[in-house]
Chains A and B, each alone.
Chain A
Amino acid sequence: MNNTEKELLKMIADIDGTPSGAFNIRANGALSARHITENVDIKEKAGVSGIEIIIKPNTVGEKIHIPVIISQSGLTEMVYNDFIIGDNCDVEIVAGCGIHNCGSEESRHDGIHTFFVGKNAKVKYVEKHVGEGDGEGGKNMNPTTVINIDDGGYMEMETTQIKGIDSTKRITKARLSDNATLIVKEKLMTHGSQYAETDFTVDLDGENSSANVISRSVAKDRSNQLFVSRINGNNVCTGHTECDAIIMDDAHVSALPQITANHIDAALIHEAAIGKIAGEQLIKLMTLGLSEQQAEEQIVNGFLK
């Protein structure tokens, strides 16, 4: 693995050297390194490109890394990864994809991640997307995440795309059983002429299930963002979706939160706000000695922290 690839790996998965615990590193469309543990098995998926991550019931405290990097211009791939998280587990999974494209051809990573979260299991899923390289070729990613949470299960998904991805369509579909909980925290920044589309659909099927989908985004330059979030309350449940966007320069942002109650005891809330940086925020930071540009950076960095 060369230095560019190592740097990418560090950025997307905080991997410096060899991670402890189970991991699977995919580089330029092929397996680069893999390690399994007694409780975490990782194997190739039959018939299609991708892996199966099987975590034994009652596994607690393990952290699993499954990063993907592409440094070869013109490489496009489609992978299917399945995560089977046993009952009563409490684990963290760090995914993420980094593309370094210096060439003129499109590099693209499309992935379908399917989660099966077992009864009373708890999982934190962290996903970071980064693109770099000054070639004319596009750096594109289209991740789809399908989430199934069994009774009493809990999943927290942290998804971040801070820079460099030219085009992305991120689809997340979740189905929750009784007493299951889903928390999604999305952070997104687009610049130049990038396009980012986010599409969440959460079905609160189970009694006392709950979902909280929070998105914070910043759109700079001429970039475009579309945020769609649908929460369907099909039982006694609570759902909240929030989109908060800062718009700058000549960017465009659309937010379409949609809540549907199919049950008398479904309590659903949506919030969406789009606005430029408040002038008084800039002034306050300027009275502390920051230039207007530095003030803007601080506000954006804080917002996406």
Chain B
Amino acid sequence: MLELKNICFSAETEDGNEKQILKDVNLKIDDGFVVITGPNGGGKSTLAKIIAGIITPTSGQILLDGKDITNLSITERSNQGISFAFQQPVRFKGITVYDLISLAAGEEIDITKACGYLSQVGLCARDYINREVNASLSGGELKRIEIATVLARSTKVSIFDEPEAGIDLWSFNSLIKVFEKMHNTLGGSIIIISHQERILNIADKVVVIANGSVKDEGKKDDILPSLLHAADAACKVLTDALEV
């Protein structure tokens, strides 16, 4: 179980002022699907990066299975079983898709196994396995390879930062299947940052983050209706305004 206690994070803005991005966030994340949602700029990605160790919180504590991991590096957290899929995947000159998946798996895996991960994310493995993870790949392709690296790691905590962004509709269906399969075979916590209703629909738990705080959290059935209602209301206001 992952536990965040009183997490605060402030950063300096361009004009030299201090901006509080996260304010006293407390969260308990059990095994299962947890979808973190909320408006843009609310602090979701920052929170995910704090869990992975990419950003150090200004104050607060992170516990993994009761053990304090707040001061562990990215590498140490990774080795403790935390995986992170970037919202904007990183490109590498010379490193191939196979190299990256092999590094993720932590060993030299055979081609068939590496291809298996690619097929799961809807890529025809044969066409991709020897390609470089460079600018010749499209945003959507990179995104799927990014997800495949997390699959190859098979850790107890997997964080996906907006995995659906840049993925076409056909792949979106397989993406949902990928998450469901992960859930069934791997167990552990799968944390997904998303705005998509269909991803929210597979959640066990939904956390709403807005203005740097946990605005709401609970079971999907308790949270989702009010979320969707709020969205409909916002749309209505907009429609009414347009009609006037």
Kindly state the separation between the CA atoms of A155 and B74 in the bound complex, as whole angstroms.
Answer: 46
- A288 interfacial by beta-carbon distance below 8 Å: yes
In B84-116, the 8 Å CB interface with A consists of 84, 86, 89-90, 92-96, 99-100, 103-104, 106
Cβ contact within 8 Å between B74 and A283:
yes
Chain B residues, Cβ within 8 Å of A289: 75, 78-79, 103, 106, 153
Among the 9-residue stretches A90-98, A229-237, A291-299, the one with 4 or more Cβ atoms under 8 Å from chain B is: A291-299
Q: Do A288 and B149 form a contact, CB below 8 Å, given A278-B90, A298-B95, A302-B93?
A: yes
Chain B residues, Cβ within 8 Å of A305: 94
Write the chain B residue with the least CB distance to A289: B78
Cβ contact within 8 Å between B104 and A288:
yes
Cβ contact within 8 Å between B92 and A302:
yes
- A3 interfacial by beta-carbon distance below 8 Å: no
Chain A interfacial residues counted at CB < 8 A: 22
- A244 interfacial by beta-carbon distance below 8 Å: yes
Write the chain A residue with the least CB distance to B105: A288
Cβ contact within 8 Å between A244 and B86:
no
Chain B residues, Cβ within 8 Å of A216: 93-94
Chain A residues, Cβ within 8 Å of B37: none
Write the chain B residue with the least CB distance to A292: B75
Cβ contact within 8 Å between B86 and A284:
yes
Cβ contact within 8 Å between B103 and A285:
yes
Chain B residues, Cβ within 8 Å of A285: 103
Cβ contact within 8 Å between B94 and A303:
yes
- B25 interfacial by beta-carbon distance below 8 Å: no
- B73 interfacial by beta-carbon distance below 8 Å: yes
Kindly state the separation between the CA atoms of A58 and B73 in the bound complex, as whole angstroms.
Answer: 61
Write the chain B residue with the least CB distance to A299: B92
Cβ contact within 8 Å between A287 and B93:
no
- B52 interfacial by beta-carbon distance below 8 Å: yes
A222 nearest CB across to chain B (Å):
24
Cβ contact within 8 Å between A287 and B84:
yes
Write the chain A residue with the least CB distance to B152: A288
- B167 interfacial by beta-carbon distance below 8 Å: no
Cβ contact within 8 Å between A286 and B95:
no
Cβ contact within 8 Å between B99 and A302:
yes
In the complex, which of the residues A244, A278, A298, A302 has the most CB atoms of chain B within 10 Å of its own CB atom?
A302
Our pick among B78, B89, B103, B149 for the contact of A298 (Cβ within 8 Å) is B103
- A38 interfacial by beta-carbon distance below 8 Å: no
Kindly state the separation between the CA atoms of A288 and B149 in the bound complex, as whole angstroms.
Answer: 8
Chain A residues, Cβ within 8 Å of B82: 287
Chain B residues, Cβ within 8 Å of A287: 52, 54, 74, 78, 82-84
A127 nearest CB across to chain B (Å):
20
Cβ contact within 8 Å between A286 and B94:
no
Residue numbers of A with Cβ under 8 A of B are 216, 244, 278, 280-281, 283-292, 298-299, 301-305
Q: List 23 A-B contacts (CB under 8 A).
A: A216-B94, A278-B90, A283-B74, A284-B86, A284-B90, A286-B73, A286-B74, A286-B78, A287-B52, A287-B54, A287-B82, A288-B78, A288-B100, A289-B75, A289-B103, A289-B153, A290-B75, A290-B103, A299-B92, A302-B94, A302-B96, A302-B99, A305-B94
